[in-house]
């Protein structure tokens, strides 16, 4: 499944931090949910893909530029909040249009899917920033909340 794909992309010995691996797995799951779904309404599919791409790109940018524990916490909390808001929309979309495939995805949504895939590929490197600040209790707490929230996606 997804975990074996992640292990092929980034072996556990290269990324042993469980929260970072969980975030990558969750991001890939959400990417698969989004790419595999769509609707008769191009704008609905487009909107979901755009939101997810922007949230992931913003997270990567914020983590990459984080120069303090507070900045890392802010990036993690914003990403967690934004994804928690987006997940119900993704699930509702899947339920509403269960037979939609990525073959039917409108061109603009494909562009957002590409952006999302590119941003998702940068998540592991961005998450390495947390390692610099894991001694800070606020960072550990934010990672714990993120891990718990993404664990509840199942």
User: What pLDDT digit, counting tens, does each position of 2-51 carry?
Assistant: 344 444 444 455 444 555 555 655 555 555 444 444 344 567 778 888 99
Computed over every residue of the chain, the mean pLDDT equals 77
DSSP string, 79-103: HHHHHHHHHHHHHHHHHH-TT--GG
Q: What is the pLDDT of residue 55?
A: 94
**94-103: per-residue pLDDT in tens?**
788 777 666 7
- Of 41-55, 63-77, 109-123, least confident by mean pLDDT is 41-55
In degrees and rounded to multiples of 5, residue 73 shows phi and psi of -60, -45
How far is CA 33 from each of CA 58, 76, 137, 144, rounded to the nearest angstrom? Answer: 20, 22, 33, 24
Euclidean distance between CA atoms 73 and 136, whole angstroms: 10
Comparison of pLDDT for 120 and 108, the residue scoring more: 120
CB 3 within 8 A of CB 28: no
Neighbour count for residue 51 (Cβ, 10 Å)? 19
CB 146 within 8 A of CB 19: yes
Query: Residue 51 contacts by C-beta under 8 Å, 6 or more apart in sequence?
Result: 86, 89
Q: What is the pLDDT of residue 34?
A: 47
Q: Does the reported pTM lie above 0.75?
A: no
């Amino acid at each position: 499944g997804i975990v074996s794909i992640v292990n092929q992309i980034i072996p556990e010995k290269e990324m042993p931090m469980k929260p970072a691996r969980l975030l990558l797995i969750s991001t890939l799951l959400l990417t698969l949910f989004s790419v595999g779904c769509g609707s008769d309404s191009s704008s609905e599919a487009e909107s979901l893909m755009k939101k997810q791409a922007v949230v992931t790109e913003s997270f990567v940018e914020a983590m990459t530029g984080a120069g303090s524990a507070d900045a890392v916490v802010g990036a993690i909390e914003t990403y967690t909040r934004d994804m928690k808001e987006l997940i119900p929309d993704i699930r509702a979309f899947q339920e509403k249009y269960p037979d939609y495939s990525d073959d039917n995805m409108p061109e603009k949504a494909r562009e957002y899917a590409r952006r999302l895939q590119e941003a998702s590929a940068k998540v592991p490197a961005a998450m390495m920033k947390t390692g610099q600040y894991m001694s800070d209790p606020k960072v550990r707490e934010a990672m714990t909340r993120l891990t718990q929230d993404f664990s509840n996606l199942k």
